[in-house]
Amino acid sequence: MSVPVWVLLGFAAWTLLTLLGSVGVYRWSRILTKRATLSEWRADLQQGSEWYQRAMRAHANCVENLPVYTAVVVAIIATGVQSPILDAMAIILICARVLQTLIHISIMQTNLVAGIRFALFFVQFICMFTMGAFVAVKA
């Protein structure tokens, strides 16, 4: 299996871990201690602590970007293009994704923190764009 495919699996796993380890733990801890009911969690309402809301947004960020990276990996597989450049971009992408998520969830948000998060998102964007362009040129 190629590095971009391994990273795709890692990205999917990270998305699930983000959901389970933040949103899931927060909700179930409140449900099991009777501080909330199962039916009161609604997607159309702003609920929970500030930390929980950041965790929800961090998970949503993962969900929003996973299909884009998946499309890039499908193009890599379909064309059979292999390169150390693609491998490096994939590794940089997953590192930036994990850091962005951790910073989003674990650090109170200030302008500096939001700027760092955006820089990490932009690194991911550049990686996906570069990988897509590389495949388009080499195919």
User: Domain with 60 in it: what CATH number?
Assistant: 1.20.120
The domain tally of the chain equals: 1
pLDDT value of residue 42: 81
Residue pLDDT, tens place only, 14-57 = 999 999 999 899 989 998 999 988 888 887 778 888 999 999 99
- Confirm if 60 and 15 have CB atoms less than 8 A apart: no
Q: For the chain, how many helices (H) and strands (E)?
A: 5, 0
Where in the sequence is the domain holding 134, given as residue range(s)? 3-138
**Residue of 4 and 26 predicted with greater confidence:** 4
Binned at pLDDT 50, 70 and 90, residue 10 comes out as very high
- Confirm if 81 and 138 have CB atoms less than 8 A apart: yes
The full DSSP string for 32-94 is HTTSS-GGG--TTS--S-HHHHHHHHHHHHHHHHHHHHHHHHHHHHHHT---HHHHHHHHHHH
Q: List CB contacts of 59: < 8 A, sequence separation 6 or more.
A: 15, 18, 19, 22, 23
Half-sphere exposure of 123 (CA within 13 A, CB side): 19
pLDDT value of residue 71: 98
Give the N- to C-terminal CA distance of the chain in Å, as an integer. 19
pLDDT value of residue 37: 87
Q: What is the DSSP letter of 23?
A: I
Residue pLDDT, tens place only, 85-118 = 999 999 999 999 999 999 999 999 999 999 999 9
The whole-model pTM stands at: 0.91
Residue pLDDT, tens place only, 63-76 = 999 999 999 999 99
